[in-house]
């Protein structure tokens, strides 16, 4: 085995080995510049994957997605996070960005969510629930814990509150509510100890298909509509804009519907 | 200013400290003074909550608290309410998370005491209990105080696990750290700032007490 | 070992520390346990105190049994009437000297404690220092507090674990003198553990040599230093002049035994224990080796003369340690001490040829030991 000190080519190889990875690391942003960062509300967890795959097939371009609660994402964007497109779960957060002059366009609806009552498998409530059951279940104590997203800041939480107020149950159910930070956590609570939960249709479909429980749609008239607004942000580049357009086209819209969202009619 | 959340945080911190400290005294003494094969293993276990992310702890808490598990099921049948999403469940999680904060300072304090001091006490006629009261405790009390204050302050600030297993129930599991997070999410910066400032001041005073006391005590014997 | 009063100790154990020790200590007697580190002497003391428990053993004091493994009896230290002084004193740092002493007075009525404690402190020459904390006392003062605390318990036996090893030489001498002085007023058996043979012989009535947990020999300091049981015991007390010889014959009428060693025929005190022709180990303490002075020849030159050359001459203060290579053969060397003025007067230096006399009454015969002792 050759002594490292005696071999004149060794030092050169050592420095090359050191510099090469650094170059790769620093060069990555250059390569990634064509893959814009998209901020997506976590209630769109399941649906974005197939949509971006469709986008890639269609245009050959790719996007990078960052999930979070709408509120968190908004705050990050305000702080300067390099997102180029924001898919929110409601209007208010998008408006904040517009008010702060961070948007490149005005906001548009890309999908509308639906609320459901989800009953997990091991719940004292019966499967395939009838909504009329709710008040009696409350009264006789079968419903001890109902999970919803936090109405203070989560769009699906606000809608859940609307629905409960509509049913006149909001006051009586106070001590029995569990608040998830977002609708995804509300769903998680539902499957890990709550007796039932009010979550989004897309999440409920997902849970039901894996056999974790059953659900029933809440009528849209019981709550403010869950319009999902999106907005292009100032740094938006070509690919981001292309993705923005793609979301409004029939291919993407079909996928939204498949995942339990309703889609805007052309006039909206 | 969410006084309910603040009061809840104080209660959680107080109960955690009251329950954990006596247990920690016993355990810390044993680890400090007994020589046994599994000592390193036990010390690693004690230190584990320090290095695990709260999400790991939260995940295990959820599993253990659920109605289907041994503990959760037993609790449910005994008290007819679920362990998850309750103050008691939070307290239990808090006890586990604070184990290193409670045990380690005490263990150091006991270890700093030469074994011969206890032996001299026994050979002077003091019973084991009298030895603890009159010799061990006066020499180790700064360690015990540090452990208590650290546990209290750390529980006040506990966030990750509470977020995962609490359910954010006002008056039950909505601690002030969660309240601050919610205000930030809702873009209510004024409230968030007020509550953060309060928590900051509280923690600073707590840590300040520890350092002050340790400093003064150290001067006495040297 | 039939002393009904005083301390009776018998300890036996194979692991973790091997022990095989038996001795007794009468009231008012001081027995020193001597041995190199690792010999188990502290362990023995701790077993007497109740801090360690041997696999098998018996410890009794004044008829009270403290430990009896056969009967399953094992009193904790609190129930044994012992007073112990630790090597590091183990004073309670948060208590004053007075409070350290009163801690050991649980058996005394509380209103009497302070007076008695002050009295004790006076006995150990610590008058006026009762309010000081240990960190405000010197090493020697701390040792005295530790002793006062041990005595405060009014113990039936006093145990001292290397009590003088952590202080300087001058203080040590002082404390040793004080202990010797205090003994007059103490009626307890006292066990002193030390690695210093000299100290043991200074203070003890009897000395017990320990080696790897075995008690090798026990006897008065004179006996230990001049008549060790065997080569190992001799080495442990610092006697290096141990040689192998052979008994030639006994001459009872002249009260001598003839011993063959190298080319010499040595005369020793008559010792019928060893048969003629048998091999023995023999030892001569340095003080029994006398130089044949060149300048002033003495009358004793006829007694067991031995010749050789000086191999080493080490000056240690006012005396010199001389190592003699007997018959210029490096197999047999003898070490003895000479005052510096003798060295100078005789102008002794390394490689000088000299002669010495081995005093008959200084040669002590022992059964032959294993060569690697």
Nearest to B221 among C84, C93, C103 (CB): C93
The complex scores an ipTM of 0.82
Quick check: C49 pLDDT over 90? yes
CB B105 within 8 A of CB B46: no
Question: Would you place residue A129 in the very low, low, confident or very high pLDDT band (cuts 50, 70, 90)?
Answer: low
CB contacts < 8 A (B, C):
61
pLDDT recorded at residue B184 = 84
Model-level pTM greater than 0.80?
no
Determine the Cα–Cα distance for residues A142 and A145; give it in Å rounded to an integer.
9
Measured between beta carbons, the chain A residues lying within 8 angstroms of B84 are: 192-193
Measured between CB atoms, does C153 come within 8 Å of chain B? yes
Mean predicted lDDT score pLDDT of chain A: 84
The predicted pLDDT at position C99 comes to: 93
% of chain B at pLDDT higher than 70: 97
Candidate ranges A74-83, C44-53, C164-173; pick with highest mean pLDDT: C44-53
Residue A232: is its pLDDT beyond 60? Answer: yes
Q: How confident is the model at residue B59 (pLDDT cuts 50, 70, 90)?
A: confident
Average confidence (pLDDT) over C226-252: 91
| Cα A46 → chain centroid | 8
The Cα–Cα gap between C221 and C228 comes to 10
Mean pLDDT computed over A249-265: 88
Q: What is the mean pLDDT of chain C?
A: 89
Cα of A192 to nearest chain B Cα, Å: 6
Nearest to B85 among A96, A145, A152 (CB): A145
| pLDDT for the residue numbered A9 | 63
Q: Considering just the CA atoms, what is the radius of gyration of chain C in Å?
A: 25
Among chain B residues, the shortest Cα distance to C46 is held by B119
- The per-residue pLDDT for B155 is 93
User: Which three-class secondary structure string do you get for C124-170?
Assistant: CCCCCCCCCCHHHCCHHHHHHHHHHHHHHCCCCEEEEECCCCCCCHH
- Closest Cα of chain A to B37: distance in Å? 39
Would you say residue C103 has pLDDT above 70? yes
pLDDT (0 to 100) of residue C2: 44
Q: What is the mean pLDDT of residues B104-132?
A: 93
List, as ranges, residues 176-215 from A with C-beta within 8 Å of B. Answer: 177-181, 189, 192-194
Instruction: Name which of C211, C72, C87, C94 is nearest C147 in CA terms.
Output: C87
Out of A144, A153, A175, name the one closest to residue B186 (CB).
A153
Give the pLDDT band (50/70/90) at residue B2.
confident
CA distance B28 to C143: 31
The residue among B69, B85, B88, B175 with the most chain A CBs within 10 A of its CB, best to mutate, is B85
pLDDT for position A6:
53
Reply yes or no on whether the pLDDT at C3 is more than 80: no
Q: What is the spatial distance between Cα C174 and Cα C196, in angstroms, rounded to a whole number?
A: 16
- DSSP codes of every residue in chain A: ---TTT-THHHHHHHHHHHHHHHHHHHHHHHHTTS-EEEEEGGGHHHHHHHHHHHHHHHS---EEEEE-HHHHHHHHHTT---SEEE-SSSHHHHHHHHTT-BSS--EEEEEE-EEEEEETT-SSPSS--TTHHHHHHHTT----EEEE-TTT-HHHHHHHHHHHHTT-TTTTGGGEEEESSHHHHHHHHHTT-SEEEEEHHHHHHHHHTTSEEEEEPPGGGS--EEEEEEEBTT--HHHHHHHHHHHSHHHHHHHHHTT-B---TT-
Chains A, C in contact: 3+ Cβ pairs under 8 A?
A: no
Q: Is residue B61 within 8 Å of residue B82, measured between CB atoms?
A: no
CA–CA dist A214, B193 (Å, integer): 42
- The predicted model gives B156-163 an average pLDDT of 89
Mean pLDDT calculated for residue range A125-133: 72
Distance of alpha carbon C23 from alpha carbon C5, whole angstroms: 13
Q: What is the least distance, in Å, from the CA of C93 to any CA of chain B?
A: 7
**What's the confidence (pLDDT) of residue C300?**
59
% of chain C exceeding 90 in pLDDT: 52
Pairing relationship of beta strands A37-41 and A85-87 according to DSSP bridges: parallel
User: In the structure, what pLDDT confidence band is assigned to residue B219 with cuts at 50, 70 and 90?
Assistant: low
Confidence class for position B193, pLDDT limits 50, 70, 90: very high
Rounded Cα distance, A233 and A52, in Å: 19
pLDDT at C108: 87
* Coil, strand or helix at C339: strand
pLDDT at A135 (0 to 100): 77
**Residues B17-40: tens digit of each pLDDT:** 999 999 999 999 999 988 888 888
- pLDDT tens digit sequence for A10-36: 777 777 777 776 766 665 554 445 688
């Amino acid at each position: 085995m050759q002594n490292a000190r005696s071999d004149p080519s060794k030092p050169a190889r050592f420095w090359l080995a050191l510099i090469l990875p650094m170059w790769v690391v620093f060069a990555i942003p250059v390569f990634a510049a064509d893959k814009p960062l998209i901020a997506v509300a976590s209630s769109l967890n399941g649906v974005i994957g197939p949509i971006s795959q469709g986008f890639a097939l269609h245009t050959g371009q790719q996007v990078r997605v960052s999930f979070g609660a709408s509120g968190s994402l908004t705050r990050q964007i305000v702080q300067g996070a390099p997102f180029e497109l924001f898919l929110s779960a409601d209007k208010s957060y998008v408006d904040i960005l517009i008010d702060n002059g961070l948007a490149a366009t005005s906001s548009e609806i890309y999908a509308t969510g639906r609320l459901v009552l989800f009953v997990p498998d091991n719940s004292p409530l019966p499967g395939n629930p009838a909504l009329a059951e709710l008040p009696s279940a409350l009264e006789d104590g079968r419903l001890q814990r109902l999970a919803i997203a936090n109405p203070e800041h989560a769009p699906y939480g606000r809608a859940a509150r609307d629905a409960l107020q509509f049913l006149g149950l909001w006051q009586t159910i106070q001590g029995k509510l569990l608040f998830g930070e977002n609708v995804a956590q509300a769903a998680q609570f539902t499957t890990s100890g709550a007796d039932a939960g009010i979550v989004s249709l897309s999440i409920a479909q997902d849970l039901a298909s894996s056999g974790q429980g059953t659900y029933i749609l809440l009528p849209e008239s019981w709550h403010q509509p869950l319009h999902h607004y999106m907005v292009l942000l100032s740094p938006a580049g070509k690919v981001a804009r292309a993705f923005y357009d793609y979301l409004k086209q029939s291919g993407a819209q079909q996928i939204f519907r498949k995942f339990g969202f309703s889609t805007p009619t052309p006039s909206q | 200013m969410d006084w309910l959340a603040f009061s809840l945080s104080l209660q959680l911190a107080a109960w955690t400290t009251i329950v954990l400290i006596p247990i920690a005294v016993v355990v810390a003494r044993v680890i400090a003074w007994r020589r046994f094969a599994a000592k390193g293993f036990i010390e690693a276990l004690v230190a584990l909550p320090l290095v695990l992310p709260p999400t790991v702890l939260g995940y295990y808490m959820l599993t253990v608290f659920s109605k289907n598990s041994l503990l959760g099921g037993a609790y449910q049948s005994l008290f007819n309410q679920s362990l998850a999403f309750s103050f008691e469940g939070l307290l239990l999680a808090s006890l586990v998370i604070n184990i290193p904060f409670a045990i380690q300072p005490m263990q150091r304090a006991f270890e700093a005491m030469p074994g011969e001091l206890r032996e001299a006490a026994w050979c002077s006629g003091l019973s084991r209990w009298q030895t603890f009261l009159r010799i061990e405790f006066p020499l180790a009390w700064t360690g015990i105080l540090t452990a208590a204050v650290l546990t209290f302050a750390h529980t006040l600030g506990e966030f990750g696990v509470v977020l995962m297993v609490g359910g954010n129930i006002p008056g039950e599991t909505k601690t002030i750290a969660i309240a601050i997070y919610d205000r930030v999410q809702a873009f209510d910066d004024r409230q968030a700032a007020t509550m953060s400032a309060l928590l900051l001041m509280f923690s600073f005073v707590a840590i300040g007490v520890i350092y002050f006391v340790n400093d003064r005590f150290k001067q006495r014997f040297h | 070992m039939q002393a009904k009063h005083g301390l009776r100790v018998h300890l036996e154990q194979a692991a973790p520390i091997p022990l095989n020790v038996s001795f007794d200590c009468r009231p008012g007697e001081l027995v020193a346990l001597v041995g190199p580190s690792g010999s188990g002497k502290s362990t023995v003391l701790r077993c007497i105190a109740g801090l360690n428990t041997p696999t098998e053993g018996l410890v009794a004091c004044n008829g009270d049994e403290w430990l009896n493994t056969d009967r399953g009896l094992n009193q904790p230290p609190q129930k044994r009437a012992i007073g112990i002084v630790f090597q590091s004193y183990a004073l309670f740092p948060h208590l004053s000297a007075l409070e350290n002493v009163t801690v050991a007075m649980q058996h005394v009525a509380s209103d009497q404690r302070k007076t008695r404690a002050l009295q004790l402190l006076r006995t150990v020459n610590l008058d006026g220092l009762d309010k000081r904390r240990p960190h405000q006392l010197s090493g020697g003062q701390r040792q005295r507090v530790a002793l006062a605390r041990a005595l405060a318990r009014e113990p039936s036996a006093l145990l001292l674990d290397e009590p003088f090893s952590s202080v300087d030489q001058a203080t040590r001498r002082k404390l040793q003198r004080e202990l010797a002085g205090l003994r007059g007023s103490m009626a307890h058996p006292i066990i002193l553990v030390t690695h210093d043979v000299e100290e043991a012989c200074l203070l003890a009535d009897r000395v017990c040599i320990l080696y790897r947990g075995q008690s090798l020999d026990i006897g008065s300091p004179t006996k230990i230093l001049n008549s060790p049981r065997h080569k190992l015991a001799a080495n442990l007390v610092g006697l290096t002049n141990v040689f192998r010889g052979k008994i030639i014959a006994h001459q009872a009428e002249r009260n001598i035994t003839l011993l063959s060693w190298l080319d010499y025929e040595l005369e020793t005190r008559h010792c019928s224990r060893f048969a003629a022709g048998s091999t023995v180990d023999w030892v001569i303490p340095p003080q029994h080796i006398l130089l044949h002075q060149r300048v002033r020849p003495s009358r004793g030159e006829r007694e067991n003369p031995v010749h050789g050359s000086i191999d080493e001459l080490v000056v240690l203060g006012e005396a010199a340690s001389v190592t003699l290579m007997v018959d210029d053969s490096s197999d047999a060397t003898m070490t003895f001490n000479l005052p510096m003025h003798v060295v100078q007067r005789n102008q002794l230096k390394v490689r000088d040829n000299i002669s010495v006399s081995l005093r008959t009454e200084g040669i002590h015969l022992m059964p032959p030991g294993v060569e690697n002792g």
